[in-house]
Amino acid sequence: MGTHHTTVRFSEASEALDCPTGDSLLQLAQQNGVDITATCGGRGRCRSCRIKLVEGNLPEPTVADRAQLSGEEIRERYRLSCQCLLTSDATVSIAPPINETSFQILSETGERDEGHVWKLDSGITKTYLHPERPSTESQKTSESEVLLGASESGNGLDIGLDTVRRIPEMLDDISGGVTVTRFRGQILSIEAGDTSPQSFGLAFDIGTTTVVAYLINLITGETVSSVSGLNPQTVFGGDLISRITFAAEQPSNVQKLHSRIIAYLNDLSKQACQLAGVECDHVYKAVIVGNTCMHHLLLGIDPTSVGKAPYLPIIRHSYACSAREAGLRLNRGARLFMLPLVAGFVGADTVGMILSTGIDDKPGICIAADIGTNAEVVLSGPDGIIACSSPAGPALEGGQIHDGMRAALGAIDKVSIDEDIRIHTIGDVPALGICGSGLIDAVAALLDVGIIAPSGRMVLEPEKQLPEPLVGRLRLGADDRPEFVLVWADSSANRTDIVLSQGDIRELQLAKAAIISGVEALVVQAGVATDDIAEFMLAGGFGNYLNIHSARRIGLIPDIPADRIRYVANAAGSGAQMALLSETERDRADALAESVTHISLAGYPEFQKMYLGAMGFPKMIR
């Protein structure tokens, strides 16, 4: 019996696609290069992959459809593409939640630790030479020695074959001299003329959600440009497990994820070079940091083993290869260096954070937390460094939130309450939705006035008397669960009410419980108390936009005095820059990674109890 097929046309695409029975619309799109954002990885737990059926027989809504879509949306022929199985030919339109532009991505790196002195030594050297051709054939020499000097003879050339093949064209006109570029003695490139002042490197921080690139002058150490954007892999899932699941579905998916990130790094490299007036051919070294999953996908390695017990990466130590071999379009001889991983999901970005914060040399109990879709936490104390990784999920990036969005133009990023709700949006424009920092502010403010109980339940009739404008924002949503209107439709950019739902509060509880219980696990493992924490450092794009009071109020970070908490900007990116500029620091990263004790929260005896205990909100803070 043959397999039944239907023909599907996405209104955004030009060609009709053949869809085998049993495949969802999301699967069809992913296998044919049609981008549908699936923040939850196609598990029916968010609204991001919704589509509208323009033509064709409308399937009955699933349980997930009814949970994520309003009754009006369902009547208007909207469905979740991950749940939609078609039985007839159809035309569908992709309906992204919002048009996100001008993202607020942290590219700033903090000041490097003043207590640790390091030298500028990138390993890249450039030498300008004036070769002279021999006058007689009796001289014992070769064309390579003509170009490079007699010093290169004797023990053979440490030079790539591609560069050797280009020597004949270099010899066509050597009157203007040549510039030889080496890394630790190995010849990377031979270029006509004097290009010795042009020596650059790139440092990349590849996050689950965002990517940042820094173009650096290897002679002066100056960052000459930085560019950033969204990780293009996010359409396949907002968190690491979603992407690992997608990679495991079929072998070609690993290549899809790899190609996406490599193409994007090349785009960022080109942008950074254009901004600085630099040629990509004058970039000779690149250093990359990222979590274990991002590390593997950048190299085209299947990350499936990281997603199941015992969570082992394929490679853990620092790795070096030709940039061209990895797919980066820089100088032909450019070298690519991946900083080492620690273990499990504690990756090279954490090593970069340790390197740049100098947490290993700090007195007392110090904690650094890189908070995002995945939260990495490091504790340094008398007995050394311990670290863990906690899956916060996409809620803090606006994922799986009713009106959630990333930190982009129009996102509510700050919320306060007096007689009524007060909001601030990125760009001071009408609100499109709410991002993670705004979500935390909103919940903290509603906790203070009693609209949200410590359990996380939204209270329709608060115990204390509230101003009428606030009371008027409380209502039952389409799912008969409470919600709070943050922005009325007539004031929003998309002319719909922007709300905080009961489900949003639960998603935030899950995220913050994962983070703070990771911190608590390290504190217990170190045999200290929360009050012993001398310094708590907030790293990463999300962590640096947090309101510290709000984060303490909801129990996302420890309730310690605010003067012990500080922002350290993009510490992972700063570590990548240090390793780019200093071979001593790159070598030190290897030693640091080996010295860290890794705690697997999945196997930690008390973690489940800690996690459940952290679900509620504090009744008050100090």
Q: What is the pLDDT of residues 274-303, one digit of tens each?
A: 999 999 999 999 999 999 999 999 999 999
Q: Looking at residues 155-181, what average pLDDT do you find?
A: 72
Please answer whether residues 427 and 402 qualify as being in contact, where contact means their C-beta atoms are separated by less than 8 angstroms. no
The reply to whether domains 5-94 and 124-192 share a CATH topology is yes
What is the chain's length? 622
**What does the pLDDT read at residue 484?**
95
Query: Is pLDDT above 80 for 538?
Result: yes
CB 110 within 8 A of CB 567: yes
For residue range 230-258, list pLDDT tens digits in order: 899 988 888 888 899 999 988 899 999 99
Greater confidence, 533 or 27? Answer: 533
Confidence of residue 446 (pLDDT cuts 50, 70, 90): very high
Structure confidence at residue 366 (pLDDT) = 96
- Domain ranges (residues) in the chain: 5-94, 124-192, 395-507
Contacts of 10 (CB under 8 A, 6+ apart): 17, 29, 34, 91, 92, 93, 94
101 vs 376, higher pLDDT: 376
Q: Is the dihedral of CA 96, 98, 100, 106 positive or negative?
A: negative
- pLDDT of 151 reads 47
pLDDT in tens, 338-347: 999 999 999 9
| Band of pLDDT at residue 75, cut at 50, 70 and 90 | confident
Among 132-136, 331-335, 609-613, the range scoring the smallest mean pLDDT is 132-136
Residue 11 confidence (pLDDT) above 80: no
Fold assignment, 124-192: Ubiquitin-like (UB roll) (3.10.20)
Instruction: Answer yes or no: CATH 3.40.50.150 is held by domain 5-94.
Output: no
* Token output for 93: 């339109």
Least confident of 109-113, 220-224, 498-502: 109-113
pLDDT at 159 over 90: no
pLDDT at 43 > cutoff 90: no
Q: What is the pLDDT of residues 598-615, one digit of tens each?
A: 998 888 888 889 999 999
Question: In this predicted structure, what is the pLDDT of residue 48?
Answer: 80
Is the pLDDT at 520 greater than 90? The verdict is yes
Identity of the amino acid at 514: A
**Section 382-396 average pLDDT:** 88
Nearest to 100 by CA among 337, 429, 363, 423: 429
| pLDDT given at position 365 | 95
Whole-number Cα distances in Å, 496 to 446, 488, 499, 553: 22, 7, 9, 29
Instruction: Tell me, rounded to whole angstroms, the distance of Cα 358 from its chain centroid.
Output: 22
H or E element, residue 80: strand 78-80
Say if CB 367 and CB 379 are below 8 A apart.
yes
Average pLDDT in the chain: 86
Q: What are the residues whose beta carbons fall under 8 Å from the beta carbon of 49, sequence distance 6 or more?
A: 26, 36, 37, 38, 39, 42, 80, 81, 82
Mean pLDDT of 578-596: 95
DSSP for 134-185, please give it: -SSTTS---HHHHHH-GGG-SS---B-HHHHHTHHHHTT--TT-EEEEEETT
Mean pLDDT of 69-98: 80
176 burial via Cβ count (<10 Å: 0-12, 13-18, 19+): exposed
Structure tokens at 37: 């954002």
Q: What's the pLDDT at 100?
A: 52
113, pLDDT greater than 90: no
Please name which of 335, 322, 326 lies closest in space to residue 285, comparing C-alpha atoms: 335
pLDDT tens per residue, range 457-479 = 999 888 778 888 898 999 988 77
pLDDT at 117: 61
621 Cβ contact partners less than 8 Å away, ≥ 6 residues apart = 552, 553, 559
Q: Closest Cα partner for 110 from 12, 223, 242?
A: 223
HEC letters along 6-46:
EEEEECCCCCEEEEECCCCHHHHHHHCCCCCCCCCCCCCCC
pLDDT-derived band at 494, boundaries 50, 70, 90: confident
How far is it, in rounded angstroms, from Cα 59 to Cα 10? Answer: 17
> For residues 51 and 97, what is the distance between their CA atoms, to the nearest angstrom?
10
Percent of the chain past pLDDT 90, that is, above it, reads 50
pLDDT confidence of residue 197: 93
Q: Are strands 5-10 and 50-55 parallel, antiparallel or unpaired?
A: unpaired
pLDDT at 227 > cutoff 60: yes
pLDDT at 154 > cutoff 60: no
Instruction: Tell me whether residue 525 is exposed, middle or buried, using C-beta atoms within 10 angstroms of its C-beta: 0 to 12, 13 to 18, 19 or more.
Output: middle
pLDDT in tens, 143-152: 676 666 644 5
* Section 87-95 average pLDDT: 81
Phi, psi of 300 (to 5 degrees): 75, 25
> Which of 587 and 540 is assigned the larger pLDDT?
587
Q: Do residues 49 and 26 lie in contact, with contact meaning Cβ atoms separated by under 8 Å?
A: yes
What the block records as the tokens of 207 is: 């996050």
